[in-house]
Structure formats: structure tokens, C-alpha cells
A and B are shown apart, each in its own frame.
Chain A
């Protein structure tokens, strides 16, 4: 969600609050790809990610009135909603234990472009294995930074941390991931 500057966002928010459907549509379209990426990274399968993304977009439109510019950026507001919706999705899954959980590595999907997709799926499994070595909170932090594309400040707003604490935590997590990746290369 880096294509739109804060001023444009604010204007769209104001118009959407006044019931401007075009502005609401523009906001949803701007955030939807990164919301899907974040949800897909956290829930592990496409269908659930699509459902959760849809719920986040609906909650964004209905919850815009609650957003206060001076407290959080809109990105932090959106991904705060997304984090809660993902948590709800996980809870629903735990209620149905036959479904995969976040911890289960995703399976290779054979739909588009077989070879390239299989390669990407291997990479995804590898990345998820690396990320699974991190504590859940730290993994969530990295997913907000990498998959959602939030800044350290925005990530801090979502997680209730200072930006400095985010930077320290992400640095140590990356150091751990890199040493694991290097050990893998040496093997």
C-alpha cells in the first residue's frame, strides 16, 4: 500500500465517510492486494485468505468512522483489522481441527504455470519453515513488515510497540533467519 500518499488517503477517507462509493472503492482497491498478501502469509491457504480479505475490506468500509488520523495511519488501522480477522479465522480453524493451521507448511499448488509455480511453492515452504523457527509475535511482526509492507512505525501501531522496539526485534529476527539460511547453504 505504498502507491497512495497520505494526503490522497485522507481525502478518500473523508469522501468515503460522506458516502462516496467511488472513494470507498478506491480505498478498497488500494489496500486489497497487500491485505490479501498479509492474510495469505498468515493463514496458509488461498480460500481462507480470500475470505478473510473480503471481511477486512468490509470492516474497513464500515469502520472508517472510527479511524482517527492523529492516532494511527490508515495502514495501521487496516492491518489492525486484518490481524483481528486472521485471529478469528485461526480460532474458527481450531474449532475444526481437520483444517490446516498457520504452522502447517503450505502445499505446492498446481494451478498456474506448473514449473515456475512449483519452484515458488518450494521457496514458500522454505520461507515458512524459516519463519516457523521464530516466536509467533516476532513472526507476526516480520509478516507485517514484509508481506503487508508496513513501515516500522505502522507495524508498531498495529502491535502496540514503539518503532524502535520493532526495529530491534526485526533486526534480531533477521539475524536468526540469516544464520539459519547460511547454515542451510553450507549443508
Chain B
């Protein structure tokens, strides 16, 4: 394997850590075959695995004499799995920093008691936060942000907050909440552009004279008027917060209704 072709831990930006942790949990969820019904990529991967499994031909049963012993082995394995799950849950309560979760040296025992609702919400919140971050960076470079763009970014950050609110405490959730707070502060500090152009305009001075700058309302405001949740609307508008009205069409679990599980934990191997 050409390891040089893959990025090393040093190449991960600090702001990327929460998203990396969310992606790891999402992959564990997909591999464990837990359903993520509103996620098109997860659904496609699950369908692919189902297709492969449909072709699998199991080994014939072993001779009868061996069966009773094998039953004991299976029972022992089941008891062991229960024990390990319990240990994993306990470990999750001890709390470790996010960078240790990603780059540290967790327990060699691999367990996957994943909660698909939590995985989906973390992934969506991380995606929204990243997109808001990108928009704020672009606006900073452009020297300001239009009212519509500010509203769109605010909508993305709010939607991410809504997704995270009902989740149990965890390192990934905490990191995302801290990132959202920092981005809100950055957004508040951005000067307003007087014209309704996006921050990609050549210069603030030219913005004020552009008559064709009137654009449709932002995606966040359209989300507010639509029937969908703020989270799903903000995700739908993810790529073009300055233009508005675009929709990827990808469904989202949206809102908080599916994330009420009080006993959910992000993962067992060191998060929290």
C-alpha cells in the first residue's frame, strides 16, 4: 500500500477534527448495517452489501457430534459480546479529548454499538458546520457579507445546533458546538455589504452600484417558509448559500424528532 498517497494526521486541520470523528462513526454505523434511511449514500452502500451477502453460500453444518460443543462456543461468544459491550459503554463515560479519539491509541477491542440516529445527526451537523465555515472564510476574503448570505449562514449554524441539541454529550458533539459558537462570533464580526451581492463580488465599492444584484431570498429564509425542518432545508442549500433557492434533493433526517434517544452514546471507543 502506498501510504504516502494518503494524508497523515498532521494534515488534518483542527476545525476538521469533529467532522473526521463524525465520519468515523458514520462508517461504523454503515458497516454494522444499522439503518440510516434518509442518507442516500448510506442506503446505496447498504444495498451494495446486501447484494454481496445475497450471493454468499454458507458452509454446510458441521457433523452432529461437534454441534453441541459448537453451541457452547456460540453461547460463550454471545456472553462475551455482551460483556464487551458493557465495558465499551463504561469506557465511553470516562471522556477523552477529540484528538485522542481520532489519533490516540484506543482499546484494541473493537466493538460497534452504534446509534444510527446519533451518527446521522453528527454527520449532518458536521457537514453544515463545514459549509458555514467555508462561507464565512469566503466572506472574510471578500471583505464582508450580504444580508442574504448572513441569513443563510445563520440558518446553517442554527440547523446544526438543532441537530446537536438532543444528542448525548460527547467529544464530537462538544467540538461541533464549540465550532458553531466560534463561527457565530466570526459571522457577527463580519462587516455588512450594502448591496445584495454575495461576498465573492470583486470589491465592496463595486457592490453598491450593481443593479442586477437582486437575488432570490436565501435558502435559509426559504427554509423558514417551507414545510421542512431547518436542518434539512439548510442541508439542501449547502453548496450555494449566496444564491439561494437551490436544492440538492437529498433527503435528510432533519430536525430533532429522530434524535431523542436518551441512552444513545456517540460511540464506545473513547468518545465522550
User: A residues engaging B (CB < 8 A)?
Assistant: 2-8, 12, 21-23, 25-26, 28-30, 32-33, 36-37, 40-41, 46, 49-50, 73, 75, 109, 111-113, 117, 119-121, 123-124, 126-128, 130, 135, 137-138, 140-142, 145-147, 149-154, 159-165, 167-172, 174-175, 177-178, 181-182, 185-186
Contact = CB atoms under 8 A, between A and B. Distances in A.
B133 to A, nearest CB: 13
B191 interface: no
Contact of B45 (A4, A127, A152, A169): A127
Contact of B66 (A8, A22, A117, A124): A22
B182 interface: no
Interface of B: 1-3, 5-9, 11-12, 16, 19-21, 23-24, 26-28, 30-32, 40-41, 44-45, 47-59, 62, 66, 69-70, 73-74, 76-78, 80-81, 83-84, 102-106, 108-112, 127, 239, 247-250, 269
A121 B11 contact: no
B40 A185 contact: yes
A53 B30 CA distance: 23
Chain A, interface SS category: helix
Given A2-B32, A36-B56, A8 B23 contact: no
Contacts of B16: 168, 171
Given A174-B26, A181-B44, A135 B5 contact: yes
Given A165-B6, A165-B8, A181-B44, A109 B55 contact: yes
Given A162-B8, A174-B23, 16 more contacts: A2-B81, A5-B109, A7-B80, A26-B74, A113-B54, A127-B44, A128-B48, A137-B6, A141-B6, A151-B112, A160-B1, A168-B8, A168-B11, A169-B6, A174-B27, A186-B247
